[in-house]
A = this chain, B = another copy of it.
Amino acid sequence: MVTIKDVAKYAGVSVATISRVLNENGYVHEDTRRVVEKAIKELNYTPNEVARSLYKRKSRLIGLLLPDITNPYFPQLARGVEDRMQQSGLRLIFGNSDESQQKEQDYIQTFVQNNVVGIIASTNFPGMDFYRRLKIPVVFLDRISSDRPAVYADGREGGRIAAQQMIERGSRQIAVLQGPAHVRPAQDRFQGAVEVLQDTGVTYEVVQTDSFTLDEAQRRAEELFVSFPETDGVIASNDMAAIAVLHEALRLGKKVPEDIQIIGFDDIPLSELVSPSLSTIRQPAYDMGKQAAELMIQLIENDDVELKSIQMPVQFIQRGTTRIKAEESI
């Protein structure tokens, strides 16, 4: 491996000069710089980030913690984060927490041990001690925290919109999937929806789920139609669950959206491609990732940014699992 010493020797200068050229700081004579740059190129030298990181006590790595990239919503967040980070020369150390506190803590520890400059986390435990103790910037993504900056979508409003649309489009026996109790955004959506349903006095049922896994979604979908066969509208906790419900409804021979309407949450890429395509509450996942990255970069560059959280707007996307309203059909 070529080190800075090799380059120094080759160029006939000291290591300090090489370092100055690399970092574009301190005084370096124009001629010297050219010689050094030539040497770097000829030896095909790239500096060792680890050594740099040790002295500086900060790497060029960001820790990213997500619950489970197998859920298609999260890769979009991740891409947003990555793409923005890349622009600033930052890279990601990555981990799935599977919503386990232990795993989460282990990853955070690894991040710290590797001198990451910041952590972006989609955690269910934003108040935990191990987050409080961190001396590096933390941004919560798709999660809410009072302690720390966060980027999240307006889940409550999303829930409200979903319920309103359901009602406006004619459903009267609505089932609401609650989503895991410990996942804050799921609860916000749920509450938003219930709020509206209560206000308008529409009959509704609640189906609780413990996780966001696909298996679970499928099981709940089956149960749903057994327990509440009269249901004519389902507000799902996310698109995966909605698609599971849709699938089950069709399997039972129900007509969608005529017999039953379904609204998802997230707008994952595939929701457009199921048949009928899924009406949903869109969260701008990719942009949320980008925003989180942006915020992180601000925090890194300028550590006196005031605690700032960004709430992103949600939006109803009318597709094939909800009926067309009179004024829309013009």
Q: Is residue A274 contacting chain B, with contact meaning CB distance below 8 A?
A: yes
Interface residue from B72, B107, B251 paired with A72 (Cβ < 8 Å) = B72
Write out the residue numbers on chain B whose beta carbons fall within 8 Å of the beta carbon of A91. Answer: 93, 95, 107, 110, 114
Interface residue total, chain A, C-beta cutoff 8 A: 52
Answer yes or no: A214 CB below 8 A from chain B CBs.
yes
Which residues in window 100-123 of A have CB below 8 A to B?
107, 109-110, 112-115
Indicate if the CB atoms of A115 and B46 lie closer than 8 Å: no
Bound together, the chains give a CA A48 to CA B110 distance in angstroms of 9
Chain A contacts with B in 26-67, Cβ cutoff 8 A: 46-51, 53-54, 57, 59, 61, 64
The answer to whether A46 and B247 touch across the interface, beta carbons within 8 angstroms, is no
Chain A, 121-134, contact with B by CB distance < 8 Å: what is the 0/1 string? 00000000000000
Task: Determine the distance from Cα of A243 to Cα of B271 in the docked complex, in whole angstroms.
Answer: 11
- Per the bound structure, the CA–CA distance linking A20 and B94 in Å amounts to 30
Which residues of B lie under 8 Å from residue A113 when comparing CB positions? 46-50
Asked whether A88 is an interface residue with its Cβ less than 8 Å from the other chain, the reply is no
CB closest chain-B residue, reference A115: B50
A146 to chain B, nearest CB (A): 25
> What is the bound-complex CA distance between A68 and B72, given in angstroms?
12
15 A-B contact pairs sorted by A residue (CB < 8 Å): A48-B113, A49-B113, A50-B115, A61-B93, A68-B79, A69-B78, A70-B76, A72-B270, A91-B110, A214-B273, A240-B273, A243-B270, A244-B273, A247-B273, A247-B274
